[in-house]
Amino acid sequence: MIVRLAFRLAQMLFVILAVVTIAFFVLRIAAGDPARLVNPPGTPEEIITQTRRRLGTDQPLLGQYVTFLGNLIRGDLGTTFRGSLPVRDAVLAALPNTLALAGLAVLAAAGIALVLGALAAWRPNGSLDRTVLGYSALAQATPAFWLGLVLVMFFSLELRWFPAIDMTGPRSFVLPVVTLAVTLSPILVRTVRQSFIETQGEDFFRAARARGLGEVRLFTVHALKMASLPVITLIGLQLGFLLAGAVVVEAIFNWPGIGKLILDALGSRDFPMIQGGVLVAAIAFVVLNFVVDLLYRLLDPRVRVGAS
């Protein structure tokens, strides 16, 4: 068990290191010269050189990487190209905001999926099933940025129910969470629906039905636990999609999270901020995947027994 955990930890560290290394080199090779961006075209070369010195981009590439790794081990993520401010402070302040947004979106999407999936599976191919599948198709085809803007226009600007931007309190979570949850829900709905349908064919379910249990109890007690297992797996698989969706949602709602941080830094070629954001996102991704794996083992005794 301990050996397995240690191996898993080593795996996670390797993935994180690989991600930040790739990000480091790709940025410096393909993303151009940040010193040129800060100064107007035609700025004297002496100023450009001075800027490169200030940004640290005048050093050889490998030297920059070694410096970066050395600082990383000490927990120093460097200073931004924009304003020479500590990257670590910025990313650590942003991370909880993204986790809160994503976490609530996952819960909301899971809730939507379980309810709609169960309703759809109750009478497969019936009108309710077709309605739910229609919702799933529509939600899948709807871009997050469009949905977010429409929600803002209607609920913020027209009805004044929720704020249009910023993270200002509980009400400010509603529109961003709904936007993210709706875009995440289609695949969960279809999976839950399928899972419920399959469960209805299981012996234990048919036996329970034969004993005269009501439909509601059948679905909520006997089928739910089985049907919800794939949701957990899917959430783990959709984490990357979730983080990507969070970038779009954070931009629309000016949400102070990692996604917006990275997006703005990309446009400015702020290498240290991009690296810091990618590092934190990578850590969050591998840790959450690990948690999902653990959760799955906890919920499904067959996995625990099989493993042992």
Q: Rule CB under 8 A: which residues touch other proteins?
A: 31-34, 36-44, 46-47, 50-51, 54, 80-85, 90, 149, 152-153, 156-157, 163-166, 251-254, 263-264, 267-269, 273
In the complex, what is the shortest distance from the CB of residue 28 to other proteins, in angstroms, rounded to a whole number?
Answer: 12
In the complex, what is the shortest distance from the CB of residue 36 to other proteins, in angstroms, rounded to a whole number?
Answer: 5
* Residue whose CB is less far from other proteins, 10 or 153: 153
The contacts of residue 175 (CB under 8 Å, 6+ apart) are 148, 151, 152, 155, 156, 162, 253
Residue listed under structure tokens 């439909």: 215
In the complex, what is the shortest distance from the CB of residue 59 to other proteins, in angstroms, rounded to a whole number?
Answer: 19
In the complex, what is the shortest distance from the CB of residue 99 to other proteins, in angstroms, rounded to a whole number?
Answer: 20
* Residue whose CB is less far from other proteins, 41 or 201: 41
* Residue whose CB is less far from other proteins, 26 or 299: 26
In the complex, what is the shortest distance from the CB of residue 292 to other proteins, in angstroms, rounded to a whole number?
Answer: 32
In the complex, what is the shortest distance from the CB of residue 127 to other proteins, in angstroms, rounded to a whole number?
Answer: 38
* Residue whose CB is less far from other proteins, 26 or 153: 153
* Residue whose CB is less far from other proteins, 65 or 145: 145
* Residue whose CB is less far from other proteins, 36 or 297: 36
